[in-house]
Amino acid sequence: MLNAHLDLDPASLVGPVNRRVFGSFVEHLGRCVYDGIYEPGHPAANADGFRTDVVDLVRELGVSTVRYPGGNFVSGYRWEDGTGPRESRPSRLDLAWHSIESNEIGLDEFSRWLTLVDGELMYAVNLGTRGVQEALDVLEYANIRSGTELSNQRIANGSPQPHGIRIWCLGNEMDGPWQLGHSTAAEYAQRAAQTARAMRQVDATLELVVCGSSGAGMPTFGEWERIVLEKTYDEVDFISCHAYYEPVEGDFASFLASAVDMDRFIESVVATADHVKALRRSEKTVNVSFDEWNVWYQSRYNEVEKITDADTWPQAPRLLEDSYSVMDAVVFGGLLISLLRHADRVTAASLAQLVNVIAPIMTEPGGPAWRQTTFYPFSITSRLARGAALRVRLDSPSTPTDAYGDVQMVDAVATHDEASGATSVFLVNRSLTETVTVDIAVDRLGIESLDSVESIFDDDIHAANTLTHPDRVVPKTNTTARLHDGTVTISLPPVSWTALAMH
């Protein structure tokens, strides 16, 4: 039997857990919007055409901010196409995903949907094919109360109150050759800085996110961050990170250790941001918005799903509809652990995406909505992670991986809410074969009660939830957990994710 030890100390703080870390992402891509959140005529649709069964699941998921409308989509998007009477809105080619965009849903409708799920809008402006003026226009339309041409248009379009958007993304993945308006770091930085300064002339209190690299594997990674931040540091509050993970050639051991890569990515970006801070002798700290992250079988999209036929432009096609397994959910839970482990600097994040497209929630047109396996680590962590993240001391056996060398078999993070005394611990067993018994020292927290223990594991690590079997994988109560004399002891099965709540 393998053993690990975890020591919790309420004085060993990482930083407060910002609720924005539990954000998500809705892009006009595939069936995320159309047939996802919006399906007029569905039995569960409300008067605005929004599926209330999806609304209920999003609320259960515990999403805070929602990044919108993209994504790659935003770099060719004309925001005004999605305003005014629906019958007058133009259909456009979406070059990012080789589709037709009907513009039935735009800023006003999406803002109304957000009120149903109690979410905050993180809005991305188009710095691919557009620029400063368009960013100022959508800001005026969205946030100015009344008395100007664009604010009065919003009122006439049925939104009398301003949308009050606080956090704005300055474009999307501008380092990527696939991006409309792809540019060098210096070119993008100049455009982003000009846009940021202009937007702050409207409202100096806006929170602005500048584009970091679209992945740590990009050839310009690191240098991109340095150049962009040197030119925009005084104007922005966040720099973005994007990362997706999938098993490569059946290397499940490395896949289960994906959080190792996320840790390194975050720490590299933070180091670069702090380097620029030191060079500028600035008192301001730029934090990380990890506004795209997930398990995504991207190779499957590139090899099977990608639409390239010049004569084929479908509307709301089935794209990126990955079916997630138990193993995917365990990796996903490990990525959440990484985000919480860096709570002092990762103060916003967006799970990409929310419905149907690499999503925790799936729907069938005219039919049901259901939870994927990844739904559960997110919903449980969002519910339990309160207060501040703790810097845990972990002694764990190691497990070999081809991508990262020997890594700790057990990964963990904890949160503690001083006001209520609630403490939560999140654990992953990365081993494909070994059970690990973990002793968690909680005596310094004065823990008296073990309230819940929820785990994701299965004899079949490839088991998934589907339309015909929507509850094949659900959280299980780990009956091995015991609290005795200031120590919680729990046995973690291979390929498992676990959340413990106590006080």
DSSP helix/strand/coil, 422 = coil
Side-chain half-sphere of 273: how many Cα atoms within 13 Å?
27
Q: Are 57 and 100 in contact (CB under 8 A)?
A: no
Among all residues, which ones are annotated catalytic? 173, 292
Instruction: Tell me the C-alpha to C-alpha distance, in Å, between residue 325 and each of 371, 402, 458.
Output: 12, 22, 10
Polymer length in residues for the chain: 503
274: tokens are 């702090």
3-state secondary structure of 335: helix
Q: Phi first, then psi: what are they for 215, rounded to 5°?
A: 175, 150
d(CA 499, CA 426): 5
The DSSP element (H or E) to which 441 belongs, if any, is strand 436-441
d(CA 24, CA 184): 28
**Residue 274 neighbours by CB distance under 10 Å:** 15
Q: In a 3-state reduction of DSSP, which class is residue 141?
A: helix
If one counts every other C-beta atom within 10 angstroms of the C-beta of residue 488, the result is: 22
* Under 8 Å between Cβ of 53 and 36: no
In angstroms, rounded to a whole number, what is the distance separating the alpha carbons of residues 77 and 105? 13
Eight-class DSSP state of 340 = H
The β-bridge relationship of strands 207-210 and 238-245 is parallel
Pairwise CA distance, residues 221 & 241, whole Å: 11
